[in-house]
Every structure is written in C-alpha cells, then in structure tokens.
Amino acid sequence: MESEHQISDSEGNLLHMQKSDMPAFEKCLSNGHKEFIQQCSFSLAENKPNYPVNVINNFLYVFKFLNDQWHVTDKPIRTLKKVVLKALFLILISRKPVNNKTDIIEKTAKMIEKTWIFCLSDFPFLERNEEKEIISLLPPPVQKSIESEFANLNFKEKISSNSFLQIYPGFVENLKRQYDVFRNNTGKYKFQDDLLLKVIFIGLIERGISEKYPGATVLLPFSCLLKEITKINSNILEQSSPPPVSRRVFFNVSKGCYISEKLFIKKISEGYKPLPGWAIWLFKAGEKLAAAGRKKKNIVLGLSLPTRAYAALFFLLGYETRNALQGMKNNNNDSKYFHNITRMEKNTPLLIWEKERWKRCYAKGVKTVQGQEMFSVSVPGTDNTRHDMYIPKGQIFRLREAVDPEREVGDHQLGYSMRGFDFFRNYYGQKDENLLKHLISCQSRFTVVGNKTLLKNEGDRLAISIKMIRKSKKNWLAGSLLDIVRFEPFLLSEFDLSRGTVLSPEAVNEYNAHPNLLVFDGSLSFLNHYDDLEADMKVIFLDRSEPHFSEACRVMLEQNYSDRENDDDMLLYDTLPETIEAVIFEE
C-alpha cells in the first residue's frame, strides 16, 4: 500500500534515490528552483518521444507547482515538494533507466492536485490548433503592427546580433536548443513561420508567459503558446485583475518624530533651505514602514516617481531614524550584550570607544566596584604601558569585538574615528552610548540593490545641515545623508560601523543574508533580482523615466499585488504628493 507521498513506476516499484545520487541532486538544487525547472525542461525537450500535449501538460503542471509553492513552508507542501523534486531528478536529470515516465508524471500530477488548490483541469495548455488557423484569427492591424515593429527580425543571422533579443536571454537559449538556429535552420523552424515567431515574442516579452508557466517555451508547440497569448491579449484573463491601486488600506502607527524639521539643505546661492515636500513625505513614509515592521512582516511597498534621485536615501533616512529612536529606548539589549561581552576569555582583543575614537583594549573580566557589576578592560597607552578601565552595564556598548584580532594584538595604540559621528550625535541629540547601542545591537538592518556609484554620489553630494543654538548663538553643523544612513562600503575604514549594505547587481548571487528591509532602487534591480533575495519587508522605487518602467509595473501588479490579503490591516499613507503613486500589499 503506497503512502500519500510515494511514487512508483509502471511495475509498482517505488522510486528511490540512492545515497550516491545525493551530491548530484543537491548540486542541481543549489542554483535555485528556476534553474532546476529549466534543466528539467531542457532534458525533457532533448530526449522526449512524441509525447501528446496532455503528457507535456502534466510536466508543466508539476513545474508550475514547484515554481509557485517553492517558498511555502507548511509541512504537507514541504514534504510533497521533496518527493516531487526527487521524482523529477530521477526521471529527467539523472538519466538512469526508469520504466514508463508517462505514468510516473501522471501520478505525480494527481498527487499534487490532492493538495494544491490549482486543479489540473484548469491548466490552460490543453488545446492544439494549427499555426495558420490561429494567425488567421489575429486582426489585420495587429499583424501590421507586428510586421512594422519587428521588420528587422531575421533568424538567418545569429541571434546574438539582434539587440532586441539580448534583453531576454533565457528565451533566446530556449530557441537555440529547440530550433537549432545556429545550424542553418535545419530544425523545426521554417522561414514561413516568421510572423508566428514575431507574435510569440510580443506575447512572451510583454506578458511574461514563461514566468507564469516555467518550461512552456521549451516544451509546447508554438500553436499552444500562441493560443494562450491570444487569450491574454483579448483580456480574457483580465477578469481576475487586482482592485484599483487607489484603494486605501491602513495600519495604525504612532505619530512620527520631529527630526525632519531640523534638517536643512545648503544651497550656494540661496543659503539654508528646509527639506522640500517630497523629501519630507519620503522621510515619513520610511518612518511608517519601520513602525509597521515591528508588528507585521512580508510587507511590499511599490512607489512610482517622476525620478528616483535621492528617493531611496530620504526614505531610508526616515526608516533609520524611527528604528534608532525606538532601539535606544530598549534596555533589554544592554543585559544581553553585557552577558555576551563578559563571556569573553581574558586578553581577548576588543575595541573601546574613547574620546570619539575606537581604540584597542583587552578583556580582563567582571569586577564589582562599589557594589556595581562592571567589566574590566586593559587599555594600552602611548608609552607602551597599560591602564585598567571599568565599564558599567549602561555603557557596555562602548565595547565591541576587534575587527581583526590577529592584526590588533600589539600595544601600539591608534585611534580610528567613524564617519560623520559628530553630525550623527547632534542629529539624534543622544549620548554616545545610546548611539553605539543603535549601531551595534539593533537587529533591523537593510540592504539596497542598485547602482553603488550613483547612491554614493547622491549621499555625499547633498549637503544637509542642522541648526544648533549654543550660548544664544545660532550655528550650523554640516553633514551628509550617508552619515546617518550608514552604508557598507561607504565608510571611513573597516573599524567603522554600518547599518546597511549596498549590493551591485553583480554581487547579488553571493549575498545570502536575510535583512529586515530590502530596497530595489530602479526597475532593472527589481526585474532581475526580486526573486533572488529574501527579507521581512521590501520597497521598490520605480522611475517613470526609465525604459523598463512599464514592464516593472506590470510584473509587480501581476505577481504580487493581485495576491495581497488582509487589506484592512495594512499601512495607510493618508496623502500622496501629486507626483507619487503607491501600492502596498502583503506578500
């Protein structure tokens, strides 16, 4: 008797993965589910017999289940995914002899159907029509616009020379395999199918069929694909479109802080000017998201702007300000951090914040001074002598682990300052201990995916100032956005403390952290890397002047906004500036 999550071949033998198969299986999964599905579909396309459409449909149904349910962690789905992944690996990738793959994939699809809300009968690719019949259904104006837009598309030349197709490399690779384009068109492709190919490119690139149905572009006849594209283009699927973007949703948050009112921008010809309205709105939007993030996770905020210049930085300024003021009030972190420091062995290299510098010191142990528990450290002096210092629990954040203990064991003393700390201190008006607590202990960190050079130039170029009254005299203290929104790698040295990280697109694949907030600065950052990174909350800045703006809006609305739930519990931005549009939902 088969259990609920077991699959057997046509002779009743259970599919079983040998221990020797595990390294290859784990390697296949290491690049993510999309690469795994693509490898399965390519393997099936290269080795398939003349499968009827319903068998291909079963494979695609299984692929879509993996794609849509990959991040679901509930036990029934998680267990089922493991069984499905192993079955696909054994029948498609390992190339070991397996009897009757058709029966196995049919059993797998039916097993999924028992658990998944998406029924196999609802899967769209069931009809098979001739290409000429479908093309004849296209209105003449559509055919004419296709001919005009793709007049230069010529598959007799190498695909790589066509600049249009370079923006969609995944589908180009599929064509290479399926149609042998580099072999003088000796595969299935014929020159008279040129119009059909153009129609399919429009559907695939503008509507994202291959994203919705992984493997479809490799496995299905063009006629089936085109049938689905014509459905989409005739608005049949628009019946399930999301509610209007203007619908209001809310989440109760306490009143924001007053700090944005203290900031001024210095202009050479005009002197000091308050922050513009759009910058204050972005600041307060960041504040509200930080407040909401303490009670709710999986929030996604999308903002459409005339230009995204400085937008991410002012949003993060509000986000960081709110987190800092809340984190400094939390005394629970003091005891936990004090306990961690006191567990260090004697003579462990540390850094101590002394006279606005990080200096080397060495752990000695816990001491009781006048009835108060303190941590004792030995601090080298300039004359190669050491003196002891006693750090009470309330100041324990003046200590931190050494950055490079191997290099910092000598007694030669140096002091390492932090970027813009004087401006940082006056911005919050707090003691050093509270500021260091925020920088060291607060777990709410952020990551930005975008252009490093652009963000650094924006952060450094804009001179912001704080008005200070000292002894009845008005003074101005100047700084930059990066002094408050402290990015790695835009700091003075490795001894500095950061709150966030900027990732260039090239570095995304090497990043495996799970930050509290993930910011996509620009359409391409969102389109190329949204599914590659995980975070508790995500913010997407879309610039209406960018060439990929429309595509980014469509993907965000179709893949995320239509799936939102619990609208009445979400965050409310009472008023939007006329130039800003926003959507917010729960992923």
Residue 373 forms beta bridges with which residues? 368
Angle subtended by helix axes 311-329 and 277-292, to nearest 10: 40
pLDDT at residue 315 in the model: 93
What pLDDT does residue 356 have?
85
Which of 184-188, 324-328, 438-442, 455-459 has the weakest average pLDDT?
Answer: 184-188
- Asked, as a colleague might, if the bond just before 97 is cis with ω within 30 of 0, I would say no
Tell me what the mean pLDDT of segment 254-271 comes to: 69
**Are the CB atoms for 283 and 464 separated by under 8 Å?**
no
Which of 131, 143, 130, 145 is CA-nearest to residue 193?
Answer: 131
172 has pLDDT over 50? no
Window from 170-174, 239-243, 254-258, 530-534 with minimum mean pLDDT:
239-243
Topology adopted by domain 259-328+443-586:
Rossmann fold (3.40.50)
Strand order in the sheet with 372-380: 386-392, 372-380, 358-369, 349-353, 399-401
Cα–Cα distances (Å) from 87 to 9, 105, 106, 375, in that order, read: 10, 8, 12, 58
Is 90 exceeded by the pLDDT of residue 242?
Answer: no
Give the pLDDT confidence of 427-449 residue by residue, as tens digits: 888 888 888 888 887 666 899 99
Half-sphere exposure of 382 (CA within 13 A, CB side): 1
Residue given tokens 């300000």 in the structure block: 321
Task: Provide the pLDDT for residue 4.
Answer: 53
Q: What angle do CA 292, 294, 296 make, to 5 degrees?
A: 60
Residue 566 is predicted with a pLDDT of: 41
Bridge pairing between strands 581-586 and 473-480: unpaired
Q: Is the pLDDT assigned to residue 520 strictly greater than 90?
A: yes
Q: Which two structure tokens, joined as six digits, stand for 157?
A: 């030349």
Mean of the pLDDT values across residues 392-400?
Answer: 89
Whether the CB-CB separation of 521 and 534 falls below 8 Å is answered with no
Mean pLDDT estimate for the chain: 72
Query: Tokens for 576?
Result: 């939007």
- In this prediction, residue 152 has a pLDDT band, given cuts at 50, 70 and 90, of very low
The predicted structure's pLDDT at residue 157: 41
Provide the pLDDT for residue 493.
79
Asked whether 293 and 323 are in contact (CB, 8 A), the reply is no
Q: Where in the chain is the domain with CATH 3.40.50?
A: 259-328+443-586
Angle (nearest 5°) at CA 510 between 551 and 523: 15
pLDDT of residue 215 exceeding 60: yes
**Angle formed at CA 306 by CA 267 and CA 565, multiple of 5 degrees:** 125
Confidence grade of residue 151 (pLDDT, cut at 50, 70, 90): very low
> How far, in Å, CA of 323 to CA of 329, rounded?
10
Whether 316 shows a pLDDT value over 90: the answer reads yes
d(CA 458, CA 467): 22
Q: 10-24, 115-129, 253-267, 461-475: which has the highest mean pLDDT?
A: 461-475
Indicate the pLDDT class of residue 399, thresholds 50, 70 and 90: very high
* CB-neighbour burial class of residue 508 (10 A; exposed 0-12, middle 13-18, buried 19+): middle
**For residue 206, what pLDDT is reported?**
46
